[in-house]
Structure 1
Amino acid sequence: MLVKTYGSALFGVNALTITIEVNISAGNKYLMVGLPDNAVKESLQRVESAIQVSGYRMPRQKIVVNLAPADIRKEGSAYDLPIAIGILAASGQIPAEHLDKYFIMGELSLDGNIQPIKGALPIAIQAQQEQFTGFILPKQNVREAAIVHGLTAYGVENLAQVIRFFNQTETLEPTQVDTREEFMKNIGNYEHDFSDVKGQENIKRALEIAAAGGHNVILIGPPGAGKTMLAKRLPTILPPLNLHEALETTKIHSVAGKLSSADALMTVRPYRSPHHTISDVALVGGGMHPSPGEISLAHNGVLFLDELPEFKRTVLEVMRQPLEDRKVAISRARFSVEYPASFMLVASMNPCPCGFYNHPEKECVCAPGVVQKYLSKISGPLLDRIDLHVEVTPVNFSELASTREAEKSERIRARVIQARAIQDRRFADKNDLHYNAQMSPKMVRKVCQISDEGTALLKSAMERLGLSARAYDRILKVARTIADLDASETVELEHLAESINYRSLDREGWAG
């Protein structure tokens, strides 16, 4: 007897419908076809044990399982449950009449319990688009599937439950999640706050500008100056995720298996801080079984690279294209997948190996030329994509001991949201342009027009401070963001002057 059940395969951050065809006929072989990987091939042993433990019979006949379409590679153990249900239906132990209404996914343990899967949200979206009635999946993943409207999500704990459901001897309780309520419940709920940081008002100002314009930023300063502490609090001043961004971010984390069973929807902007020993594949994504890398997990949020010169040069260089295109394409001989990667890069570094170059109190002990060699680990093309270079100085004792309460993230975030609203109106007719950092050189000339006095100031600054040519557009972009924070229609002299201050690494002789 031939029976069909339905599941899904992940392809990038989207899903494709997979038809699991099970045919039982005379003979005594188990055959798995349709380009399965080893984890899928091994499913028949798990399925056999789970069926027997659940009190049912594994047919001793020829069983052929085909995963269609047969030209797409099937990976992972999530096909165990639809294969088991297909075998039981094909052998007449459960009715097959309602199987075409449901997506079924889940990994089986030998005792029949169902283990969680990856990518429940994109699979649920695909099931809804294909107009399936329901989605039967592990209980641990059911909340993320339940946020998809028009699809009934059933969370199950073991194979016996699913069998009784199709035998109509047990009713499964659907899980319901109010997407908007879930979205609003934890929005803006952050563990950290800018009010925790004593002093460093100029650095907070720079991060406010970075958040307002979506600019990448690098913090340069000695150990213990507060670079990491400040970077951790940057997501708290970014505008809250909108519902579309929340769904997009949740899909990526769902595919990567990073969502907890309690989470239905990500409502806080992600913050990722990989160690400097990370490989280039782990950073951008890919691998033998492609999955999103750190830059995609930071999509719509912040990627923090601490001690930037300690990262391998090849790792840093692979970020150049994603920083420009806001997405990363993983191409292999048989397939090509694309992951979104629109993130704010925040990097930190010591000014030299010992950490005390330009320190106001401690003396640098690095040999001549070592500082320049240390900074040269970061390539010019990568620095070209970082708009703000901010020098972080140590906090003195009087500021640390002060009982004066610093400004809270909430107030800074309100100013950032107002500046972003101005940019939304400015770029309303541009689908791929949302904030100032994304402007092309042509758009910079159009949007960031300055007066003759401003041109003279910029020329003087570039000549006297020895600023590089790549600093020109960056200064104008940042100045435009500062003007937006001031709700100014034009870029004034004071906006340009402040912007010029944020190009430390472009100054000739900065590193001796």
Structure 2
Amino acid sequence: MINRVKSGILYGIEGRLIEIEVDLSRGMPSFSVVGLAGTEIKESKERVRSSINNSNLVFPNGRIVVNLSPADLKKDGSYLDLGICMGILRNKISKTDEELMKIAFLGELSLDGSLRSVNGILSIVISLKKYGIKSIYIPIDSYYECHEVEGIEIIPVKSVKECLKVVSMPSDEYESFIEKRYADLNTIIEEKTREFDEKKIYTDDFYYIKGNSFAKRCVEISVSGGHNLLLIGPPGTGKTMIAKSIRSVLPELDNSEKLIVTQIYSAAGKLNNISGLMKERPFRQPHHTTTRLSIIGGGINASLGEITLAHKGILFLDEIPEFNRHTIDAMRQPLEDGYINVSRINNSFNYPASFTLIATANPCPCGYYNTDKICTCKQSEIERYKNRISGPILDRMDLFCEVGEIDYEEFSKNNSEMYSSCEMKKRIELARNVQYKRFSKGMEDKDNNISLNSEMNSELIYKYCILDKEAQKTARKLHNKYNLSNRSYLRILKVARTIADLENRERIGESDIIESFSYRKAYYKYFSKIY
């Protein structure tokens, strides 16, 4: 007798449908799993056996062969435990084979028969919906993660015994059970969400950062258009404080962004179970000793790197020259394309990596080169220090901001509300709405694949970055005088487009081009002698 049930596994950050075939036959007692199963899945034999016995159910005393289809897909993790268990206990499920083919079972088993949550369950649920699955049984602790997914019925259960009971319930009894279970869990979600929101207080606010209005303006432009930003200055001037305060002005994720970011964090096992879909944009701050694989992703299990965890958010590299140069250079392609392709011998994963890079740097090892204080570094040491950031990476930065020390008079002034985080966030959201409308109405031109000015390709730049006559003259002079590379010039146009959007102007004016170029002065001051 062959029993068939459906389940799924995590593959990269997406899910794959797995059909479990269980052959129960007479013979010498044995239990084998075939179908390119990894170590964790082979270990599931003992979890399934113990959970059935400890649930006061009878484990079949005969020859059991479990086949996982498709057989050419490597399967790892404990996702299939519940599916294998249900396949073995098929005779206790009062549903037809046709009905059972529209149901999937997903979850890890404990030895006592209870269910444990698994990483990446949101991605699997979304993928199984695309495969035509109508209902999916999951561990109760995983419900918080995927309760907002529409178009598929989520049935949270506590144990193997409860799963068998619920799947075989008459329709009226089943509806009563589901209604009560949802009510109980949704009450918990509301309470936990309220507690989470109350604790979500940012201590870093731009209002409390004295002076540095130029740096605050740079941040406003950077976040509005998703432009990469490098803050340069001596120690103690507030570079790190400015960068950390960016969290307080990040707009919330839209619906499509919530889904993909939550999938990423679910696959990485970094999701708050109670939060459901993530609402806040990621802000990742790896230490400079972090390895290349941790930043980029990869390794034996093709794990997610910091650039993927920062998707649709901020990747903050404090003291970027202290990072390994090869690690930083590996970010060239993701910074340009918005994704990273991790290839292994048997498979290849395409991970999203569309993030805004915020970095800080001292001008030299001692930190006081080109400042009022005495620099104690030799010229060779200064050049070696600057050379830790390669030319191609500098060419991918849109904004260069020099953060200097402020005098006592500036420090003692009361800050303007104009540069409080609240006011900055309002302007940023308005500028982003302008961009969303611009790119969303170009569906026939496939402009809807992007949402920010920084993501425009050459075609869209020439379509939307329209300069008036005076701006064209100024742009020509700057291009010829400073011998700008094509990439640098296009990035100046993108930044100018964002500046115009902040002022809600359709065309880019001369002042927009001049201001955009002014954010490259720090580059010429500190790096032009080397590159």
TM-score, scaled to structure 1: 0.89
Is the 1:467–1:507 contact (alpha carbons within 8 Å) kept by the matching residues of 2?
no
Query: Where does residue 213 of structure 1 map in the other structure?
Result: 225
Alpha carbon RMSD of aligned pairs, Å? 2.9
Counterpart position of 2:48:
47
Query: How many angstroms apart in 2 are the aligned matches of 1:300 and 1:126?
Result: 21
Residue 19 of structure 2: aligned partner: 19
Contact kept? 1:187, 1:268, Cα under 8 Å: no
Instruction: Letter of the 1:14 partner, please give it.
Output: E
CA contact (8 A) 1:54 1:159 kept: yes
Q: Give the match for residue 275 of structure 1.
A: 287
Tell me the alpha carbon deviations over residues 322-374 of structure 1, each in whole angstroms, 9 at most, x when there is no partner.
111111222223222211111111111111112222333x3221112212211
1:360-375 matches, cutoff 5 A? 360=372, 362-375=373-386
What amino acid sits opposite 2:524 in the alignment? R
Amino acid at match of 1:15: G
Q: Which amino acid aligns with 2:398?
A: D
- In 2, Cα distance between the equivalents of 1:257 and 1:138? 15
Match of 2:494 in 1: 477
Amino acid at match of 1:421: N
Q: 1:502 aligns with which of 519, 525, 529?
A: 519
1:108-123 alignment, distance < 5 Å: 108-123=109-124
1:300 alignment partner, SS class: coil
- When residues 19 and 424 of structure 1 are mapped into structure 2, their CA distance, relative to the original with a 3 A threshold, is same
What residue in structure 2 maps to residue 418 of structure 1?
430
Identity within the alignment, % = 39
Matched, 1:175 2:182: yes
CA distance in 1 between counterparts of 2:36 and 2:294 reads: 26
State how 1:74-153 maps to structure 2 within 5 Å. Answer: 74-89=75-90, 92-95=91-94, 97=96, 99-153=100-154
Q: Give CA-to-partner distance per residue, 1:186-224, whole Å, 9 cap, x none.
A: 999663533343332211111111122221111112222
Q: 1:190 to 1:102 in 2, by over 3 A?
A: farther
Is residue 386–residue 527 contact of structure 2 (8 Å, CA) maintained in 1? no
* Residue in 1 that maps onto 2:163: 162
1:247 aligns with 2:248: no
Alignment partner of 1:369: what SS?
helix
Indicate the SS of the match to 1:410.
Answer: helix
User: Contact conserved, 1:142 with 1:175, CA < 8 A, in 2?
Assistant: no
* 1:286 equivalent in structure 2: 298
Name the amino acid aligned to 1:239.
Answer: P
Taking structure 1 as reference, are residues 396 and 83 closer, same or farther at Cα in structure 2, changes over 3 Å only? farther
Task: Give 3-state SS (helix, strand or coil) of 1:20's partner.
Answer: strand
Closer/same/farther in 2, CA of residues 414 and 55 from structure 1, 3 Å limit: same
Whether contact under 8 Å (1:465, 1:507) holds in the other structure is no
Counterpart secondary structure, 1:494: helix
Q: How does 1:179-258 map to 2 (within 5 A)?
A: 191=202, 192-258=204-270
Quote the Cα distance in structure 1 between the aligned partners of 2:182 and 2:411. Answer: 50
CA change 1:400–1:156 in 2 (3 A) is farther
| 1:493 partner amino acid | E
Equivalent pairs, count: 506
Q: Aligned letter for 1:50?
A: S
Question: CA contact under 8 A between 1:467 and 1:506: conserved in structure 2?
Answer: no
Contact 1:269–1:302 (Cα < 8 Å) also in 2? yes
SS of alignment partner, residue 76 of structure 1: coil
Equivalent-residue separation in structure 2 for 1:268 and 1:342 (angstroms): 15
Distance (Å, rounded) in 2 between the aligned partners of 1:107 and 1:207: 45
| Preserved CA contact (<8 Å) 1:50 1:112 | yes
Shift of residue 79, structure 1, vs aligned partner: 1.4
User: 1:74–1:404: structure 2 CA closer, same or farther, 3 Å change rule?
Assistant: same
Point out the structure with the larger helix share: 2
Residue 504 of structure 2 aligns with which residue?
487
Does structure 1 retain, via aligned residues, the 8 Å contact 2:9–2:80? Answer: no
User: Closer, same or farther in 2 for the Cα pair 1:366/1:55, shift >3 Å?
Assistant: same
Question: Mind listing any 5+ residue stretches in structure 2 that lack a counterpart?
Answer: none
- 1:146 deviates by 1.8
Map of 1:432 onto structure 2: 449
